[in-house]
Amino acid sequence: MLGRYLAEFLDGHLEPSSYYRTGRGWNTNTIRLTNGSIIQLRSYEDRPDAHAGDSLDIVWLDEPPPRSIFTESQARVMDRDGEVWLTLTPVGRPVAWLRDMIEREGSVWEEVVIPFSQEACPWYDEAQVAQWLEDLSSSPWEYEQRVNGSWEGVTLERLFTGLSEDNIREPGKLPPDLCVGITIDHGATAGSQVALLVLWEQRGRRMWVIDEYVSEKASSPEEDAAAIRAMLRRHRIKPSEVDEAVGDTNVSKGYAGYKLNDVLEQEFARMESQRLPPFRILGPDKTPGSVDWGLRVVNHALRRGDLVVHPRCVNLSKTLRHWKGSKTGDDGTLCHAADALRYFAVAVLGKRTTYARLRFT
């Protein structure tokens, strides 16, 4: 579509060697104009350095770009004090990094939002616009993005298909006598150590995730324990009040021969000046089929409205909206919150595995 727009805009200014054919597109990736200017057509599938070394006046990125291509595009306009344009409706794309950059304080970017309407799209008649709005009304997230230009949405191929807007909200007044839980996915790199603070009903089926800790760098068990303790303190919860904790078992973080959960327990005992840890960290269910079962448990809880995530849990919210199941790449950075949530959902809601409740004083 962008190619057709260019052809209409450049009509009368093209060199004979460059031409556009309906249904076939441009005959070349380099469009030459009669005034000596050139336009290069590139794909997001190309290498980020596809035009490395060029000095460009304008780079136009249509739809959200990969971060590497965006960074390279910024570098290409520096020599000529050029501009970077973005036109996008980020449906199905996690673009928090782009939003943060554009809307941060002191940003040089100018943001223009054009809501969908018959006036903005005169090639549609009023009946077509009304039908389109009615069709979108069944999907609130997609409606906000396609009609009002919202940044936030969901990835259509996400694994947490049970998610709705009502699952991510402030929980309001909570029932009394809730249990307190901590669930942890251990990782050795920045962003891969994730802990969630969970409240749940011992006899009910409802669960609230009220806070999260995500490592900003490669962290040690001592740093992780201190961060989890600080998270508890934000909610005036003592470590001794944690009823249940679940932690992954596959990362040593330099403690070869020791279970990382045991190292964390010892660190909590040290911080509390106790001989025994204030709570035990149990291993998760990793029996065959446990991953699929855990996803089913989480999705059922989301659909029932039994799982609520506080908006302050930014990483977990992003995971629920966008994670497609990968363990690598940009999508793979979201797997750690997904695993932590799954561990605990199976432990307290799944009913397939029963953990003994161990308390120390």
Task: Provide the whole-model pTM.
Answer: 0.67
Query: So what's the pLDDT on residue 132?
Result: 82
Task: Please count the structural domains in the chain.
Answer: 2
Pair (298, 328) in one structural domain = yes
- 120 in any annotated domain: yes
Pair (138, 173) in one structural domain = no
Pair (296, 219) in one structural domain = yes
Pair (20, 119) in one structural domain = yes
Pair (140, 258) in one structural domain = no
- 96 in any annotated domain: yes
- 303 in any annotated domain: yes
Is residue 199 within 8 Å of residue 207, measured between CB atoms? Answer: yes
Residues 6 or more apart whose CB falls under 8 angstroms from that of 120 comprise 114
- 356 in any annotated domain: no
CB atoms within 10 A of CB 87: 11
Pair (199, 124) in one structural domain = no
- 156 in any annotated domain: no
Pair (184, 51) in one structural domain = no
Q: Which CATH number fits the domain that encloses residue 321?
A: 3.30.420.280
> Among 148, 176, 202, which residue terminates a domain?
148
- 157 in any annotated domain: no
Which residues form the domain of 184?
165-350
- 225 in any annotated domain: yes
Length of the chain, please?
Answer: 361
**Start-to-end C-alpha separation, the chain:** 67
Is residue 211 within 8 Å of residue 308, measured between CB atoms? Answer: no
d(CA 124, CA 119): 9
Pair (53, 89) in one structural domain = yes
Place of tokens 């004979």: 16
Phi, psi for 260 (deg, rounded to 5): -60, -35
Class of residue 254 by CB neighbours under 10 A (exposed 0-12, middle 13-18, buried 19+): exposed
Place of tokens 């999705």: 299
Read off the tokens for 143.
Answer: 């409606």
Pair (108, 136) in one structural domain = yes
Is residue 54 within 8 Å of residue 43, measured between CB atoms? Answer: no
Residue 304 is given by DSSP the state: H
Pair (69, 116) in one structural domain = yes
Query: So what's the pLDDT on residue 64?
Result: 83
Query: So what's the pLDDT on residue 359?
Result: 46
> Among 93, 122, 148, which residue terminates a domain?
148
Strand partners, 20: 26
Q: Is the dihedral of CA 135, 154, 157, 199 positive or negative?
A: negative
pLDDT tens, position by position, for the chain (361 residues)?
677 888 888 888 999 999 888 888 888 888 999 999 998 888 888 887 776 778 889 998 988 888 888 888 888 888 888 999 998 887 766 677 787 888 888 888 888 888 888 888 888 888 988 888 888 776 666 777 788 777 766 777 889 999 988 899 999 889 988 999 999 999 888 889 999 999 999 877 899 999 999 999 989 999 999 999 999 999 999 999 999 999 998 666 666 667 889 999 999 999 999 999 999 999 998 888 899 999 999 999 999 999 999 999 999 999 998 898 888 776 778 899 999 999 999 988 876 444 444 444 4
- 199 in any annotated domain: yes
Pair (57, 115) in one structural domain = yes
Pair (258, 327) in one structural domain = yes
